[in-house]
Structure 1
């Protein structure tokens, strides 16, 4: 796979991109908690600025990725994202720190155009039998930076401050754009004849609405997206309030989660042919139910670390289970549009969860929010029951003629 020039080049650019994103995200998180004295509302707004564009622009970005030249799109997205970071530095020095939310928002929007462009290049230049391995490699890259990203991000911020952290991200993004520029130029005779965007979107919605399995998965997406969003911004408060530790200890929790994610991903790859995807997904959601409630309850650092290891280990079960079920229950002609419908469904509820998490924590308690999230994970698992019943009927029907 590494003999493929496109794979080598894009993976190298993604290394710089992921490193830059972690330096930025962790620096902004630590800076905002200092400026607001750990205000949960502002902490949750960071996540909203980062994830809301995924909900709004994922379909738009995917549509334009089919119309624009993918190499050029990726280069411009990385370059403009770097510019947005570098422009914010003097604003921070002489103006308001609120501009950080705007910079995060711009960078996240641009990523919704860059990511599908990378997938388009892979589809064009990577043999089909290697695509699954490539996707696993990309997931492993994300898990790797989940381990080292918090360490690097915390180190850069604590040693040099927010301005240098943003500058580092800007330089890394410019480096990513320069690496992508070494790819062969996009073909100039690309097909630009496309149907109306709204017609494509409506067709995808109708297809999901007619497909029972996809409707069930959509309902599961709603429950799990809300559950994940409610606790996503609050891990720093688990560190500060429940564990009574400095916020710098957050990096160790995230490292433990990421390391376990790498191991879990390897285990899932070995089980993929023997374990049905609906069972894989249900197991991941079931474990998340009890694990999330336990994280909210724990006041022990070793116990919380252990719970984060469990959470990271079973995360690939959820991710690969969902992706496999979508692939198996979707016709090839609708894969892109179904993903365009399902992803915003999940991310939309996740953004809503992140938006209200800080308010819920203030009104109720940290443990109450984590318990509610765990219950929602359980509801997501229960919503899969129709798929289990449908698959059981298929097995009975297949065995009846044989008997």
Structure 2
């Protein structure tokens, strides 16, 4: 896969971006926590400015990514992100920290344009038999930074402060833009084929998802998976405190074990990518996650909970890799951005719904009941996926039903 110039360049770009994002996020989190005396409202606002762009710009960004040249879009997105970080740094030097939130919002918004462009390049330039391996590689990269990102971000902030952290972030974003500039020149005909009417293009993307049998099923599976994840994500702390009788600080060890096993799982998937159909990969990940979720909710023994977190982490990449591979395989190149922009917010939206309900459901029932409900929802996701398990969809061909 690394012999492919597009894969090699985009992955290197993503390494720089992930490193910059983690350094920025932890610098902002720790800095705002310090200057506001751990004000929960301001701390939670950080999550809002990181998440809101997905709802606001995902479909818009995906549509524009389909209209624009992918290399140019990615280069300029990272270039503007880097420039924004340095503007925020100048504002911070003048004494205003609110610009940190604005800068984070702008950077997160630009990623909604860059990410679908990368998927378009993968779709066009990566052989079909290597696509699943590339998706696994991307998932492994995310897992690596889930483990190392918080450590590096915290270390740099504590030793050098927020100003150095932001300057380093800006340099990394600009470095990513420079790396992407070495991609082959865009095909001018791609952008020229787009409609002159933005709304027509956007609506065409929504109709494409609606008329594509595989994408409809994936949307349902994606949504129910997001709801299941949202129900348990805010309650992980209570597993450590209430179920296991541990301190709040102990939660980090469970998260690190989960992240490390995700890394291993992603590497294993790269080895079997050509042998396993993505729909079976996705179903396996959902099944194992369902069992582990219920087990974590029921366990009162630290070793058992830790083992379940590790097993869950090993199989979690199956879910992400399976979904991403099916999206790419069942979407024609000109619609890649709009399909991603239409489906990604479904997961995030349902996850936020689950997060909003989780505390109420825990108080109304019990911690175990919420985890059991989450596990059952993951099983429902397999039911939604079952038509794709019976019949592999033809690559890139909409199937009307």
Structure 2 residue 16 is matched with structure 1 residue 13:
no
Structure 2 residue 223 is matched with structure 1 residue 225:
no
Q: Decide whether the 8 Å contact of 2:265 with 2:314 is kept in 1.
A: yes
Q: Decide whether the 8 Å contact of 1:292 with 1:370 is kept in 2.
A: no
Give the direction of change, closer, same or farther, for the CA distance of 1:353–1:131 in structure 2 (3 Å limit).
same
Tell me the equivalent position of 1:105.
105
C-alpha displacement of 1:119: 3.0
Q: Distance in 2 between matches of 1:365 and 1:97?
A: 36
Tell me the equivalent position of 1:150.
150
C-alpha displacement of 1:106: 0.9
Q: Distance in 2 between matches of 1:206 and 1:67?
A: 17
Matches for 1:364-383 after TM superposition, within 5 Å: 372=370, 375-383=373-381
| 3-state SS of 2:247 partner | coil
Tell me the equivalent position of 1:339.
340
Q: Distance in 1 between matches of 2:118 and 2:39?
A: 37
Matches for 1:146-225 after TM superposition, within 5 Å: 146-186=146-186, 191-195=191-195, 196-210=197-211, 214-225=215-226
Tell me the equivalent position of 1:244.
247
Q: Distance in 1 between matches of 2:101 and 2:366?
A: 28
Q: Distance in 1 between matches of 2:93 and 2:364?
A: 34
Q: Decide whether the 8 Å contact of 1:4 with 1:126 is kept in 2.
A: yes
In terms of mean alpha carbon deviation, does 318-327 or 260-269 score higher?
318-327
Matches for 1:314-393 after TM superposition, within 5 Å: 314-326=315-327, 337-353=338-354, 356=356, 361=359, 372=370, 375-385=373-383, 387-388=385-386
| 3-state SS of 2:192 partner | coil
Tell me the equivalent position of 2:22.
22
Q: Distance in 2 between matches of 1:292 and 1:42?
A: 31
Q: Decide whether the 8 Å contact of 1:288 with 1:311 is kept in 2.
A: yes
Q: Decide whether the 8 Å contact of 2:217 with 2:385 is kept in 1.
A: yes
Give the direction of change, closer, same or farther, for the CA distance of 1:349–1:14 in structure 2 (3 Å limit).
same
Aligned residues: 389
C-alpha displacement of 1:110: 0.7
Structure 2 residue 77 is matched with structure 1 residue 77:
yes
In terms of mean alpha carbon deviation, does 296-305 or 263-272 score higher?
296-305
Give the direction of change, closer, same or farther, for the CA distance of 1:328–1:160 in structure 2 (3 Å limit).
closer
TM-score, normalization: structure 2? 0.78
| 3-state SS of 1:384 partner | helix
Q: Decide whether the 8 Å contact of 2:120 with 2:336 is kept in 1.
A: no
RMSD: 3.9
Q: Distance in 2 between matches of 1:36 and 1:49?
A: 17
Q: Distance in 2 between matches of 1:318 and 1:343?
A: 14
Gaps of 5+ in 1: 395-403
Give the direction of change, closer, same or farther, for the CA distance of 1:151–1:374 in structure 2 (3 Å limit).
farther
| 3-state SS of 2:194 partner | coil
C-alpha displacement of 1:295: 5.1
C-alpha displacement of 1:374: 5.2
Tell me the equivalent position of 2:119.
119
TM-score, normalization: structure 1? 0.78
Q: Decide whether the 8 Å contact of 2:133 with 2:270 is kept in 1.
A: no
Gaps of 5+ in 2: 393-401
